[in-house]
A = this chain, B = another copy of it.
């Protein structure tokens, strides 16, 4: 049952020992969720987390509270917190909200990219392409996420940028949940390059449209037909998940 946290514990860069603050815990968990090392429904027991990060439950609780507020985790009274696993309706809503907000963000950025930012985005798009060519899906996801995250961080409107950051995270969750098992990668060739071209070309509405079709394509890759949580277990068995997300 305890399962996945052991992986976290010594499997990768999380914590590795002593004295993390709640800020660091949320950041680590967010990164783990983004890179899909923490699948939807994963249990997040306070004590286990505390031991993993070398702190007591107090700080873990604070971190969990923040994660719940960000819709990264869900918490029902007297039950262990879990990584959120939104149903299909919420998934569609998340994509819809993200189309709106990321569209606006890129529209606002269009034409005013610094040289450094343009180069960074280009490098990220290139890195994604390279990783895909090599078949390194994990690195490809990381680059793709970094691309979008870069947009969020450099949003002229920081409020929208923060919202976009949360939405990107939630998108990662639902992708992990609803990606068809037979789909090797969610790579959409050239989309990021095209978007970048629009961003520097200086056509806000065109850039907005680019982002929205990009997100539409992404959503279209997902298997959103299940009538909400019914065949859920079947889907879970399809991929190699442990029982850590039993009753999600």
Question: Which residues of A in the span 67-118 have a Cβ within 8 Å of any Cβ on B?
Answer: 69-70, 90, 93-94, 96-97, 100-101, 104
B97 touches A157 (CB 8 A): yes
Q: Assembly of this chain: how many copies?
A: 2
A61 within 8 A of B: yes
Chain B residues lying within 8 Å of A100, measured Cβ to Cβ, are: 100-101, 104, 160
B96 touches A157 (CB 8 A): yes
**Measured CA separation A160–B93 after assembly (Å):** 8
A163 within 8 A of B: yes
A35 within 8 A of B: no
Which one of B65, B66, B94 lies within 8 Å of A159 (CB-CB)?
B94
Contacts from A to B (Cβ < 8 Å): 61-62, 65-66, 69-70, 90, 93-94, 96-97, 100-101, 104, 157-160, 163
Query: Can you report 18 A-B residue pairs in the complex whose CB atoms are below 8 A from each other?
Result: A61-B62, A62-B62, A62-B65, A65-B65, A65-B69, A66-B69, A69-B69, A69-B70, A90-B159, A93-B157, A93-B158, A94-B159, A96-B157, A96-B160, A97-B160, A100-B100, A100-B104, A100-B160
